[in-house]
Amino acid sequence: PGWSAFNAALAKNDLVRPSVVGYLLVLPSSPTELSTVFTMLQRTLAVADKLQQEDVIICLDQAIYAKAQEIICRRPSDFERIVLQMGGFHVACTFLSFLGQRFEHAGLHDILVESELVGPGAVQCCCFQGKAIQSCYAVPQSKP
């Protein structure tokens, strides 16, 4: 079911209020600087307090996720309500890189190339190094 059906199932007989989506203020500095990420984490907690939310889930790209994780490890008591999540794109890249390292010498490269699912250049330079994952999407979607 879609998001509306999910909300309706949660609410059961209660009136479902429309969701409100908004954007936070822009921080005019580099997103990978520790000070910027620290400010973002603090502002996120301030918004959560205003909305009376106990916990906050933040989805970040890989570079900012690493910085945020570093800050939270240094000051766990300040940010214990924050749950970090790496974005789906970077999770997919990391997974493909893992597959490439794990099965590099197990013949997976040969299987993919000989079955013409992926070209030899894509497998060698991109697919299993976590780069250019668009060329790797053909593998799970192909039909026997």
Give the tens place of pLDDT for each residue, 44-91: 999 999 989 999 999 999 899 999 999 999 999 999 999 999 988 888
d(CA 94, CA 86): 10
Give the tens place of pLDDT for each residue, 86-127: 988 888 878 877 877 787 778 877 877 787 777 777 666 566
The pLDDT of residue 9: 78
Q: How far apart are the first and last CA of the chain?
A: 29
Of 113, 117, 116, 65, the C-alpha closest to 86 is 65
Strand partners, 84: 58
* Structure tokens belonging to residue 25: 């203020």
d(CA 126, CA 135): 8
The DSSP secondary-structure symbol of 134 reads: G
Of 131, 134, 129, the C-alpha closest to 109 is 129
Give the tens place of pLDDT for each residue, 6-55: 777 777 777 767 777 778 788 899 988 999 999 999 999 999 999 899 99
The pLDDT of residue 141: 52
Torsion of CA 52, 23, 58, 8, to 10 degrees: 60
pTM: 0.66
Got the DSSP string for 52-72?
Answer: T-S-EEEEE-HHHHHHHHHHH
The pLDDT of residue 127: 61
Residue at 41: amino acid letter: L
